[in-house]
Structure 1
Amino acid sequence: MSPRILITGSTGYIGGSVLAAITTAHPEYSVTAILRKVSQRYVDEYPRVKIIIGDYDSAEILAKAASESDIVIHAGDSDHKGAMESLLAGLGRRTTPSFLIHLSGTACISDVYSGEYGVLNPRVWSDVDDIAELAALPDDRIHRHVDKLVWAAAETHGAHIHTAIMCPPDIYGKGHGPGITQSFMVPFFYDAVLAHKSAFYIASGENTRSLVHIEDVMSMYVHVVEEAVTSLETGNVRDEYWGKNGFYFNSSSELVWKDAAAATGIFMASLGLIPSAEPKECSVEEAQSMLGGSGLSLYMFGSNSRSRADRGTKLFGWKPTRPTFMELLEADLLAHHADKQRNIVVALEGLRESNSA
């Protein structure tokens, strides 16, 4: 059979890479993407992908598209409650089994709520051993308000709507989609270091975060989608993959944040972007005020978020194969630096044209 797959977020870093992975591994699949607008690059790279114009607030467009799909890969805005409600409503209209694969993230297990920053937390979460606790996380956790909808759908419609939550940690490496190809984490730290005029860590800098290369995330998605397709073909849905068990960490390694700060300092100082390569201790108050004062810096640079991909490893032998974060850190930093330089050139050219008009 040729399964009908709907994907959201396919111009983003993760969603675009997932689209590339699925269409490359299985060109026979029938894929539809929901896009706010269509670029020529997208059409050129994915001529066989059907496009529906809409956004995360287009409730009926999302619901109708989901109702016509066997598998929905929601790889867009993880925190848009309305979009998830619309997709689930559409799947609820179907009379045949369907699969929902939702993108979340390990912010849900971060200890940023503890009030202690920059210190090691020994807790490492397992997507097998800790599955009951993951399903019952407090409502104030990041991503929780949408993840709860997915867990609830698994309980209420488990015989009809089979769900999986994909939960990657911080991701690095060059993306493969038609839109954004850089991760959030490395550019965010680059910009924070530039604004702070120094690489930095909070308190002792011993907080530790799980990591994964984008291509290892892609391989995890391919496995889970293939399991959904097999279930559709055979009529046999294996409970260990879906519903109350359907939660997948994608972690491949760990990093002590002080080590990342030290390596970033060396690289950015070598380009003359900061006066010294030596990272500095940063206070909680300083971190809180960075980049608009959203508090995101405390989560990104001061908290622990540690996870273990036991489910994928045990079910289908998922094994990360890509280079480590530290091996690729300089390349990721250089890519963001080059983008910023290009943006400056474009802005200057636009200013010259405006002044000469």
Structure 2
Amino acid sequence: MQIFVTGAGGFIGGSIAAHLVKRGHQVTGLIRRAEQAKDLQALGITPVIGSLDDTAVLAAEARAADAVVNAADSDHQGAIDALLHALSGSGKAFLHTSGSSIVGDASGGLASDIVYDETSMPAPTPDKAARVAIDTKVQDAARQGVRAVVLCNTLIYGHGAVPGAKSVQLPRLIAQAEKSGIVRHVGPGLNRWSNVHIDDVAALYALVLENADLAPGGSFFFVESGEAAFRDMTAAIAQALHLGPAQDWPLDEAKAEWGYEMASYALGSNSRVRSRFTHRRLGWQPQRTSVVDWIRDEMRTQ
């Protein structure tokens, strides 16, 4: 297939694009910075320079491709509208990347026993209502002749394919620790997030693209293969960085460092999910199941 991937210079998009190339697909990737072109070309990806605001570029690439993967921004309404409009009536696949903070509880680092799956979703918080509305709009595009699928990723770890590209959550914890000499988690760090290795994410996207009968338009999949409390992840980071024990951090101080969204949801909430469909319906078999083991054994290997 000829596949167009947005966010190809990033951690998720670049890794997905590189994996698709290895599987024999022809991949064109949207990047914002021209200096990333050589990195993409080295991975076998054809770079297209532009942004999500360049709707004419998005539409042209979508029409030229057999399938589109949006891995750039879960919340960019204009780009998603442009891509869906270009694909309308084509029957082509559109894979949209969402994130499991949509079920986050902003608990300030406190624990929760609640676990969600694709069939038991909560009403979104006001902070996440816009993202959930976009996910729903993508799914609804199946009625306009698009094989539109939402892949809702959990905390992603591992080393990405594009040099210098990083995930969202763990790098924030690591950067703060390296700057201050103290590893910290929000509140008591009892909050738990489901998680998944980037290689397994890329494999799942390929599986969805290549199996239209198993992942029809309108599908929604959580992407997860393990779970960990933040205090266990920060303990592993402290060990890997040879620093003292990880410390609790009041939410207000964490917000001052990371901002409201990052501190409250990405690092300070519970986001516990299970997929009822990825394993049974798609036959996805993730190879990694422990983010704590990865932090201790592989985080510093790149």
TM over 0.5: yes
**Counterpart amino acid of 1:110?**
G
Of 257, 263, 278, the residue aligned with 2:230 is 257
Of 225, 230, 249, the residue aligned with 1:282 is 249
Q: In structure 2, what is the equivalent of residue 316 of structure 1?
A: 282
Say if 1:139 and 1:203 are closer, same or farther in 2 by CA, change over 3 A: closer
Residue 318 (structure 1) shift: 1.2
Q: In structure 2, what is the equivalent of residue 105 of structure 1?
A: 99
For 1:58 and 1:325, how far apart are their aligned partners in 2?
A: 36
Q: In structure 2, what is the equivalent of residue 163 of structure 1?
A: 148
Name the larger-Rg structure. 1
For 2:51 and 2:185, how far apart are their aligned partners in 1?
A: 38
Q: Is residue 27 of structure 2 the alignment partner of residue 61 of structure 1?
A: no
Say if 1:56 and 1:320 are closer, same or farther in 2 by CA, change over 3 A: same
Q: Is residue 198 of structure 2 the alignment partner of residue 211 of structure 1?
A: no
- Give the secondary-structure state (helix, strand or coil) at the position aligned to 2:280: helix
For 1:17 and 1:187, how far apart are their aligned partners in 2?
A: 17
- Is 1:190–1:333's contact at 8 Å kept on the other side of the alignment? no
- Give the secondary-structure state (helix, strand or coil) at the position aligned to 1:265: helix
Instruction: Kindly tell me the number of residue pairs found equivalent between the two proteins.
Output: 299
Query: Which structure 1 residue ranges, 5 or more long, are not aligned?
Result: 229-237, 339-357
For 1:64 and 1:203, how far apart are their aligned partners in 2?
A: 47
Q: In structure 2, what is the equivalent of residue 140 of structure 1?
A: 127
For 2:58 and 2:171, how far apart are their aligned partners in 1?
A: 31
- Give the secondary-structure state (helix, strand or coil) at the position aligned to 1:73: strand
Say which structure is richer in helix: 1
Q: Is residue 3 of structure 2 the alignment partner of residue 5 of structure 1?
A: yes
1:188-267 mapped onto 2 (5 Å cutoff): 188-228=172-212, 238=213, 241-244=215-218, 246-267=219-240
For 1:33 and 1:195, how far apart are their aligned partners in 2?
A: 33
For 1:40 and 1:32, how far apart are their aligned partners in 2?
A: 13
Say if 1:242 and 1:196 are closer, same or farther in 2 by CA, change over 3 A: farther
Deviates more, 1:259-268 or 1:196-205: 196-205
For 1:140 and 1:302, how far apart are their aligned partners in 2?
A: 14
Q: In structure 1, what is the equivalent of residue 262 of structure 2?
A: 296
Residues 144-163 of structure 1, C-alpha deviations (whole Å, 9 max, x = no match): 35323313323x41xx1111
- Is 1:261–1:279's contact at 8 Å kept on the other side of the alignment? yes
For 2:87 and 2:50, how far apart are their aligned partners in 1?
A: 17
For 2:210 and 2:272, how far apart are their aligned partners in 1?
A: 27
Q: In structure 2, what is the equivalent of residue 88 of structure 1?
A: 84
Q: Return the TM-score normalized by structure 2.
A: 0.89
For 2:68 and 2:108, how far apart are their aligned partners in 1?
A: 37
Of 145, 148, 158, the residue aligned with 1:173 is 158
Q: In structure 2, what is the equivalent of residue 45 of structure 1?
A: 43
- Is 1:10–1:33's contact at 8 Å kept on the other side of the alignment? yes
For 2:249 and 2:74, how far apart are their aligned partners in 1?
A: 30
Residue 107 (structure 1) shift: 1.2
- Is 2:188–2:248's contact at 8 Å kept on the other side of the alignment? yes
- Is 1:289–1:295's contact at 8 Å kept on the other side of the alignment? no
Say if 1:51 and 1:284 are closer, same or farther in 2 by CA, change over 3 A: closer
Q: In structure 2, what is the equivalent of residue 186 of structure 1?
A: 170
Of 105, 108, 119, the residue aligned with 1:117 is 108
- Is 2:160–2:166's contact at 8 Å kept on the other side of the alignment? yes
Q: Return the TM-score normalized by structure 1.
A: 0.76
Say if 1:146 and 1:193 are closer, same or farther in 2 by CA, change over 3 A: same
**Counterpart amino acid of 2:38?**
Q
- Give the secondary-structure state (helix, strand or coil) at the position aligned to 1:308: coil
Query: Which structure 2 residue ranges, 5 or more long, are not aligned?
Result: none
